[in-house]
Amino acid sequence: MATLNNNFLKLQKNYLFVEIAQRVAKYKEEHPDAPVIRLGIGDVTRPLAPAVIEALHKAVDEQASSETFRGYGPEQGYEFLRQAIKDNVFQPRGVEIGIDEIFINDGAKSDTGNFGDILGTDNSVLITDPVYPVYIDSNVMAGRAGDINEGTWSRITYAPCTAENGFVPALPEKPVDIIYLCYPNNPTGTVLRREDLKRWVDYANETGALILYDAAYEAYIRHDDIPRSIYEIEGAKQCAVEFHSYSKTAGFTGLRCGFTVVPKEVTARAADGSRVALNPLWNRRQCTKFNGTPYIVQRAAEAIYSPEGKRQVQETIDYYMENARIMREALTAAGLQVFGGEDAPYIWFRVPEGTTSWGFWETLLTKYNIVSTPGVGFGPSGEGYIRLTAFGSREECTEAMRRIAANPF
Ligand SMILES: *Cc1c(COP(=O)(O)O)cnc(C)c1O
C-alpha cells in the first residue's frame, strides 16, 4: 500500500487567507450591502504594461507559423531573457552575474519552495518572524521543521523583527544552516540597510550557512543606499541564492515568471565532508523536474527591459507607491505607529493599546468595512500589528483612508 509523506499531515489546517475569506464571507452574509474594501491579499490590480502586451501578441503570432514556432525551450530559460537580466538588473549595479548563473522560473514562490530539493533534510532553518508562510510550510513538507507547539516549530529558529529592534533581525545565538531573508520584506514592508545585510553575509561565510534571499519586491526600493540585490554586498556570491519575481515588479502574478540566481561559488557540504557547488545541482534538478517557462511569457518578461517597458512598469510601481504614501500619511494622522511603505508596497502598523491583531482586524472590518491582514497570521512576532497592501485602486485606497479620518479609532 502506498504511504504518505507524513510531514504533510503536520501542516497547519487553516491557511491565513482562507480564514480571512471565511470571516469576510460571514460578515458579508450578515451585512450584504456593506461597501467592503479589500486591502488584505497581496495581489496586484493594475493591468500589464502595453510593451508587455505587445510582446505577448508578437510571440503568440510566432507560434502560429512553422518557421517561428517554438516548442520546448532550454530548462534554464531563453538566452535573450537571461542576457537582458544580466545587462539590466545586475550590470548597472556593478554586480557581475553570468547568464549560466541565472535560471528563469515560473515565479519565486515555486523556486523558494523547490530549492529545498537539493538541500539536506537535516539542515536547521532560520526565518525572520513575521514571515512569508511559504518558507515555513515548504520546510514542514521536507521534514525540516520539527513539531509545532503553540504556533512555533521546534526545529526552526525565529529571528523576531519588531518595532523594538527596528525590524532588523539579530544574528542567531545557536548555529543555523539555512537562512531565509526577504527584503524589502513581506509582510512588514521594511528594508535592510547595507551594513545590516553585510552582517548576515559575513555570518553565513564564517559559519558555512546558506542564505536564501527573496528579492521579490526589489523594484519598490526608492532609497539609493538600500541594496536591491544581496550580491551588492561583498562576499554574498559565496553564500547566497537570490529569488526574483516579475509578479509584483510588472504585474505577472497571472503570467508567472521570475528568475533564480545561483552563483557558481555557492556551495553546501556533502555527506563525505566535501563542499559541492549548488549551481550544477540546481541545473540538474531543473532539467529533471521543470521544462521551462513558456516562450511567450519569457518574451513578455524581456519587454520589461525595453525603454518603453521600463518606463511603463515604473509608472505602475509609482502608482502603488503613491497609494502607500496616502495610507502612511492617513494612518499616521490617525495616531497609529506606521512602518514600511517607503521602499515596499506594504504598510505595517501597530494596533492601538489593549487590542490584538485579530481584534483590530475585526474593528477595521466592522467599523470601516476594510479588509486587512492580521500580523499574527505571519508569525508570533506579528502579534499586535496589521498589514495593509498598496496594490488596490487609488479610489478604494483613498476611500478607505477617508473612512478612518472621518471616524477615528
Ligand atoms: C508575492 C511574493 C513572491 C512572488 O511569488 P510569485 O510566485 O513570483 O508570484 C515571492 N516572495 C514573496 C515574499 C512574495 O510576497
What are 178-187's pLDDT values in tens digits? 999 999 999 9
Residue nearest to ligand 1 atom 8, measured at CA: 107
Residues contacting residue 117 through CB under 8 Å, at least 6 positions apart: 285, 289
- State the Cα–Cα distance between residues 394 and 396, nearest whole angstrom: 6
Which cell numbers hold the place of 234?
A: 561583498
Q: Which atom of ligand 1 is nearest to the CA of 108?
A: 8
Q: Which atom of ligand 1 is nearest to the CA of 182?
A: 13
Distance 68 CA to ligand 1 centre (A): 32
User: In this model, does residue 13 exceed pLDDT 90?
Assistant: no
Predicted TM-score (pTM) of this structure:
0.97
Residue whose CB lies within 8 A of the most ligand 1 atoms, among 186, 244, 260, for a mutation test: 186
Mean pLDDT, the chain, whole residue set: 97
**Ligand 1 in reach of 263 Cβ (< 6 A):** no
Residues 183 and 159 sit within 8 Å (Cβ to Cβ):
no
Q: Which residue has the cell 510588472?
A: 250
Q: Which atom of ligand 1 is nearest to the CA of 109?
A: 7
User: In this model, does residue 28 exceed pLDDT 70?
Assistant: yes
Angle between helix 307-333 and helix 394-406 axes, rounded to 10 deg: 10
Give residue 41's pLDDT.
74
**Ligand 1 in reach of 75 Cβ (< 6 A):** no
| Average pLDDT rounded to a whole number, residues 113-122 | 97
Residues 128 and 190 sit within 8 Å (Cβ to Cβ):
no
Residues 40 and 372 sit within 8 Å (Cβ to Cβ):
yes
**Ligand 1 in reach of 130 Cβ (< 6 A):** no
pLDDT band per the 50, 70, 90 thresholds, residue 134: very high
Share of residues in the chain with pLDDT > 90 (%): 96
User: In this model, does residue 383 exceed pLDDT 80?
Assistant: yes
